[in-house]
Amino acid sequence: MDFRFRLITAEDRPFMVQMLYEATIASEQTFDIDNIENFPHSYAYIENFPEAGEVGIIAESTDGTPAGAAWLRNFPEGDKPGISGPELTIAIAPSYRRQHLAKRIMAQLYQAANALNIKTLKLGVYQKNVPALAFYKNDGWEPDVIFGDYVMMKRAI
């Protein structure tokens, strides 16, 4: 299937909420999608996005239907252990999975991050999410530290 890629805008926040929800399912910690503001930890990933120095990519099918998203959010230094730098969130809508879309979105996101002179990224992966851990390792991510139930990973771009 063909996809188009574009930068995330503030108008994409409702789709970002859906993708954040999809991402949290794998970590066995979900939130009420209609009341995300009542879940401060989750809401922090989308609130006022994008701010200066943040970037994200939306993948759309050829008919314009959003299929997946990946974005980099700046959190305060020391928010999570490990390296400093923007934190990645990525998810693919269920009906678009198994089409290598995640790898394609990541490639677009790395280009956009390079344009902002971002050199190092971080992310947290639920330890039991073996497929995601394998995906990131195959994409050049390295484990950094353990933070609760999460493996914090880093990647230079």
Which residue ranges form the domains of the chain, and what is each CATH number? 3-118 (3.40.630.30)
115 against 33, higher pLDDT = 115
> How far lies 13's CA from each of 47, 50, 98, in Å?
8, 9, 24
Read off the pLDDT of each residue in 17-27 and give the average, rounded to a whole number: 87
**Is 78 a residue whose pLDDT tops 60?**
no
Q: What is the dihedral of CA 57, 58, 59, 62, to 10 degrees?
A: -130
Checking if the pLDDT of 55 tops 90, the result is yes
Closest CA to 13 of 147, 108, 54: 54
pTM: 0.90
What percent of the chain stands above pLDDT 70?
93
Per-residue pLDDT tens for 90-128?
999 999 999 999 999 999 999 999 999 999 999 999 999
Residue 150 reports pLDDT greater than 70: yes
